[in-house]
Amino acid sequence: MQTELSRKLGIEHAVFGFTPFPAVAAAISRAGGFGVLGAVRYTTPDDLRRDLDWLDAHAGGRPYGLDVVMPAKKVEGVTEADVEAMIPEGHRQFVRETLAKHGVPELAAGEPSGWRITGWMEQVARTQLDVAFDYPIRLLANALGSPPADVVARAHDRRVLVAALAGSARHARKHRQAGIDIVVAQGYEAGGHTGEIATMVLTPEVVEAVHPLPVLAAGGIGSGQQVAAALTLGAQGVWLGSVWLTTTEADLHAPALTRKLLAAGSGDTVRSRALTGKPARQLRTEWTDAWDDPAGPGTLPMPLQGLLVAEAVSRIQKYEVEPLLGTPVGQIVGRMNSERSVQAVFDDLTRGFEKAVDRINRIAGRSGQS
């Protein structure tokens, strides 16, 4: 599964794996792909440095990258406390009532929330970059589109490639104009923040829009046959996230959540603003239903919604309150029906890819060639 981009990066397979878990990122790189660690959950530079130390030591000398969340436009002088003060009391009351309805216990006195989306704040992401550039990362990806121009320049000065996610050809063209090196065409099927265009339609549109920049296809991809389809559509690789959630290296800290993922079908996800304030595909739960109910107060814009629900999500996860328990995940969850190692996922991807290539060769009258 090699392309011009994979050869440029020195990886065996053109599979880029996004994950919040250092052990998964390291395993992806060791398996011949490109592990990308998500930084949004890190609340302090020391926490990120600790995990990058571990990742660097366990990636087997293979390349890896970091994914941050930064708006393209800089906002000066806004602190987390300023943002917190913008949250209406009615929304806070709605959170309390929803948790009480399901009997969700409080955190222990003085126990910090284990899940704060402070990473959506630009100043936090910038401190993460100060740490990351001390490591030999080969790729910096931004989940909110093109990062600020000075960040792109800073990465390029260190010979770090910059990738940005796009949900439309229009967004992709803006990334090209901003000096981005790789565009990730993320379709409607993907977990997390997504647009409204399906991967099959979006990928060739983006490939044409940004040619000759390399494009990675994302959304609904979890088999080797789908990897082959993405490359056929013009992509130079695939960006996979959801499929790693049920690997043995993943550390969800919630057996109940793993069970829910393994049992879910492709129709058991929903695009909801409940988690961050922007449409993000996730498991459908009574929590997402409550926020999407027209009778409720409605969600707040990013980053208010993320800060509003941070402690609630921590409590739901800690006590594994199953009716409310969810996670960002794509429609590919319907194929995630067993726990496997990262290497086993790669073995399946390569076997499926080879079968797809052989099938196309037979259709094209090139039986026996590869």
State how far the Cα of 306 lies from the Cα of 310, in Å rounded to an integer: 6
Distant-in-sequence, close-in-space partners of 124: CB < 8 Å, separation ≥ 6: 43, 118
Helices (H), 43-184: 45-58, 80-84, 89-101, 122-132, 149-157, 169-177
pLDDT band at 124 (very low <50, low <70, confident <90, very high): confident
pLDDT tens, position by position, 190-224: 999 999 999 999 999 999 999 999 999 999 999 99
pLDDT tens per residue across span 26-50? 999 999 999 999 998 888 899 999 9
pTM: 0.93
Query: Which of 219, 201, 141, 125 shows the shortest CA–CA distance to 175?
Result: 141
